[in-house]
Amino acid sequence: MELLQEMLIGFCSDGANVMLGVKSGVGKLLQGDFPNIILWHCLNHRLELAVAQALEATGGTKDFQAFLDALYTLYSQSPKSMREQCDISKSH
């Protein structure tokens, strides 16, 4: 616990209530033990929420979203991609 008191400076997560809720989220509980901790909502999660909201407002973009999801799935499950990621992890 002493190590955390000295070293823990921040907590970043998605904006879900269980993580950053003002009453009993993980961040709030951490503030009880570490009053100087910095809490923030992950920029990538905020960006994803903003893009999703903009796409909903624009309308007619569900096909585009489905295409991007399929493209991501195809790439992330590609044997070539997996080999490259494995090679990269071994070299570091």
Residue 84 identity: E
User: By the 8 A CB rule, do 81 and 51 touch?
Assistant: no
pLDDT at residue number 75: 83
Residue 49 and residue 63: Cα distance in Å, rounded? 18
| Domain segments of the chain as ranges | 2-43, 60-92
* Three-class SS state of 10: strand
Q: Tokens 């999660």 label which residue? A: 45
The pLDDT value given to residue 70: 93
Question: What is d(CA 21, CA 11) in angstroms, rounded to the nearest whole number?
Answer: 13
Sign of dihedral through CA atoms 57, 61, 66, 71?
negative
The pLDDT value recorded for residue 85 is 82
Q: What pLDDT is stored for residue 92 in this prediction?
A: 66
User: What is the CB neighbour count within 10 angstroms for residue 65?
Assistant: 13
- Digitized pLDDT (tens) for each residue of the chain, 92 residues in all: 788 888 899 999 998 999 999 999 999 999 999 999 999 999 999 999 998 888 888 877 788 888 989 988 988 888 988 888 888 888 76
Nearest-angstrom CA–CA distance, 33 and 39: 13
Please state the pTM of the whole predicted model: 0.54
